Structure 1
């Protein structure tokens, strides 16, 4: 069960994706395939990903959001395990080995995440000291059945919060998700990225995610009443 594929949604990520791919190539357990979904980029993403030793499949779509791109990438994989990664973040070399071992040890666990540390743009060698649980695309490894059961990752308004919503839907489906205590990934913080700072326009997605969760709970309560 050590066969896994990787999905990387990418939008104007030519400045960072080569480094991201190097972190995938450095894994002690190598992926069977890396699917990169170009989400309507206007930069030269194809040149940025050339020259890697990894088996890469590049897909292109009109700009639809990272959730849509991730969903399309997952559909393009046939591996039993699927890992996802943002195009500006980094994995530590033993991330996949640790997560695969965890899923092998706990066969009823549907997905596993890990802790991560932030780093500022071009300083991956100087991550911040604080390690936090990474309930995120970059830290996630799931069994294929999770995506088949839960369905697409939906992009809310503003482009933030799609993974919060999808992870909540995984839990609502009764699927077990575990969090490793180890720091196995690094999250890049750079001006202009979706993860940078607070932005009222982008943060609308979090409100939508909260509203949808409340609607699902109300529906489930009404159905069980």
Structure 2
């Protein structure tokens, strides 16, 4: 099996990035490359990364959103497989190994996701916690050509919903996306993160994603076969 690279978009993640990166380098199948894209952070995240003395490439950009940061990181990779991870989430040690094994068994599969479970920032993970399908950046592993076909991850208004939009576009293109039953990813819950709680301004992104999906469906119905 060929190698893989990891992309981590990060914004003001100084308190979590070390643990996240350690979960990456602790994988039973080691990555060929790890890229962290600093999306305009104002904290000391870069110093934290440098102090870890890990083989990590740090890219920097103005704050334009996690989709833009993920897209930039993927563009900097040349590996045939790509895994992505948010800067406050964690992988369990066999996550990548099991995804690569699934790709070997099912060559027609374009992307593999995993179940995940939540843990709170100030408390250890509870293995008995409820697990759910993680259709998200933190669980995703794809073939490189899939990203080239689907295109960039676009940040909607408010900063939420970009992965829902990208996954929907991949499915509309007829690509096969599979979900592993095991919970191999841990989702950190902490106040202030993009995924924490309900927020009317941030949730505008979901409405925009739904609007774009309806537009695509309408175009597909009117285009000649």
1:123-177 CA-to-partner distances (Å, cap 9, x unmatched) read 2333661100000000000000011001000000000000000000000111100
Q: Give 1:122 shift.
A: 2.7
Distance 1:199 1:19 in 2: 27
Q: Give 1:57 shift.
A: 0.8
Distance 1:102 1:38, change over 3 A: same
- When structure 1 is superposed on structure 2, of 107-116 and 126-135 the one drifting more is 126-135
Distance 1:51 1:25 in 2: 15
Tell me the secondary structure at the aligned position of residue 184 of structure 1: strand
State the partner residue of 2:177: 177
Distance 2:163 2:148 in 1: 16
Tell me the secondary structure at the aligned position of residue 5 of structure 2: strand
Q: Give 1:53 shift.
A: 5.5
Tell me the secondary structure at the aligned position of residue 216 of structure 1: helix
Q: Give 1:64 shift.
A: 0.3
Q: Aligned residue pairs: how many?
A: 225
State the partner residue of 1:155: 155
The alignment status of 1:137 with 2:114, answered yes or no, reads no
1:150-206 CA-to-partner distances (Å, cap 9, x unmatched) read 100000000000000000000011110000000100000100001110000000000
CA RMSD of aligned residues (A): 1.2
State the partner residue of 2:74: 74
State the partner residue of 2:46: 46
Distance 2:10 2:147 in 1: 20
TM-score under structure 2 length normalisation:
0.97
Distance 1:196 1:224 in 2: 43
TM-score under structure 1 length normalisation:
0.97
Distance 2:224 2:130 in 1: 42
Distance 2:53 2:140 in 1: 23
Contact kept? 1:33, 1:54, Cα under 8 Å:
no
The alignment status of 1:204 with 2:204, answered yes or no, reads yes
1:122-133 matches, cutoff 5 A = 122-126=122-126, 129-133=129-133
